[in-house]
Structure 1
């Protein structure tokens, strides 16, 4: 199916996920970042993320928000305010360096210590060649940054620690189980379209109603974020599965 219009970039993977009705419920509205699309979505959602169609590590991501007659454009720790959409869009255009960008509805993520966080679910082929969740880790954004990515300064933390203020201890295991099930469904679906990949890193954002949103699906997920946790059990399993996949594949 890879030759049928699905490409290994953000838009291609988004379109692939849209073909599954259950998974589509967890996808934030996403379009090509044309001027008309950005303006229309900004009027409807007030906060947007502008992402390069190709790229990893959170590089080149902008946050654009609209409050009253103010437009705020943030990239990294730099934030600029404009009095018109034209001004904000012109600044974005100058910074995008002719790259193809997507515009995505901004999800109001849960915050821990006044900083947003999301979760990375690692899904790999097991030694029996079945999809298996081998790890889940939280990514806490660096202060004043718009992205949570590890290589952009995000802090890896145990998922349970980040969820504790929002999900009672007795409910955490079932809730994390639901997230893991979502990660498995995504990986099984994507493997039917991109069959050559042996691992997926599923980035999940959680809103204030505890609904999980699919932020991104990575086909070459970073394993070493899990090594930053004090408990190395997930990291060891991930590396063991990666070695088995490499030697068998």
Structure 2
């Protein structure tokens, strides 16, 4: 049973940010506009912008600032600009009229130069939630999105952690993702009664910190 659907990424993120423990694992997220994009690029050097409604990696764009050069990557398309104004005008054409959010870019641990993240799927069976899957998703060579529908490769979470970070960290990282999933699920169900399944997208950065990128109510 699918249960209640929640498509709006901004709404789900705002609810999770209300809990201090969970908020510490969510990259800074703001609504998309010129001022927010400029300030976040200045602060972090890399951000990811994504549609408020959408999935499967569709419409996700990585934006970077190095010195005075601004760039963006959309799938395998890459463009660079010498001014923020030109970057912003070009992005307006790419994102069309869809509403977007901006999220701080995280430097993910990689396998052979390819970024990896993790999907944890939970399903409600009667009154209890069960973790049904915890898998790694390795980006197709040359892409930054890891979605399987965009050519990403699936491997076990244990394999992903061992090969991208450290074999000695496998048990601890999987346990931390489980704990964050249980707490986040409790918070979301309290706010949105009727949800029946959730897919959490996690990343582990190069220093070993776990980040929550988004939560889906219709996980693939």
The TM tier, using the shorter chain, reads over 0.9
SS in 2 for 1:172: helix
How far, CA to CA, are the matches of 1:66 and 1:174 in structure 2?
34
CA contact (8 A) 1:42 1:65 kept: yes
Given the alignment of the two structures, is residue 123 of structure 1 paired with residue 122 of structure 2, yes or no?
yes
Q: Secondary structure of the equivalent of 2:11? A: helix
Partner-residue secondary structure (3-state), 1:80: strand
Cα deviation, residue 146, structure 1: 2.2
Q: Secondary structure at the match of 1:162?
A: helix
Which structure 2 residues correspond to residues 45-64 of structure 1 after superposition, within 5 A? 45-64=44-63
Following TM superposition, the consecutive aligned residue runs of length 4 or more in structure 1 with deviations greater than 6 angstroms are none
After TM superposition, the score normalised by the length of structure 2 is 0.93
Deviation at 1:41, TM superposition (A): 0.6
Distance 2:97 2:173 in 1: 41
User: What pairs up with 1:1-249 in 2 under 5 angstroms?
Assistant: 8-126=7-125, 128-165=126-163, 166-169=165-168, 171-222=169-220
SS at match of 1:16: helix
Aligned residue pair count: 214
Q: 1:107 touches 1:207 (CA, 8 Å); kept in 2? A: yes
Q: Distance in 2 between matches of 1:155 and 1:193?
A: 34
Unmatched tracts of structure 1, length 5 or more: 1-6, 223-249
Q: Name the SS of the counterpart of 1:79 in structure 2.
A: strand
Q: Which gives a bigger RCO, structure 1 or 2 (Cα 8 Å, sep 6+)?
A: 2
Measure the CA separation in 1 of the matches of 2:16 and 2:78: 32
CA root-mean-square deviation: 1.2
**Separation in 2 of the partners of 1:175 and 1:193?**
27
Q: Secondary structure at the match of 1:192?
A: helix
Whole-angstrom CA distance in 2 between matches of 1:204 and 1:36:
27
Q: 1 or 2, which has the higher strand percentage?
A: 2
State the SS of the aligned residue for 2:194.
coil
- The CA deviation string for residues 125-169 of structure 1, in whole angstroms up to 9 with x for no partner, is 13x521221210001111111211111221111111111132224
Check conservation: 1:199, 1:220, Cα contact below 8 A.
yes
- 1:94-148 Cα offsets, whole Å, 9 max, x none, are 111111011110011110111001000011113x521221210001111111211
The answer as to whether partners of 2:7 and 2:216 remain within 8 angstroms in 1 is no
CA deviation after TM superposition for structure 1 residue 174, in Å: 3.1
Q: Name the SS for the 1:143 alignment partner.
A: coil
From the CA coordinates, give the structure whose radius of gyration is larger.
1
Gap runs ≥5 in structure 2: 1-5
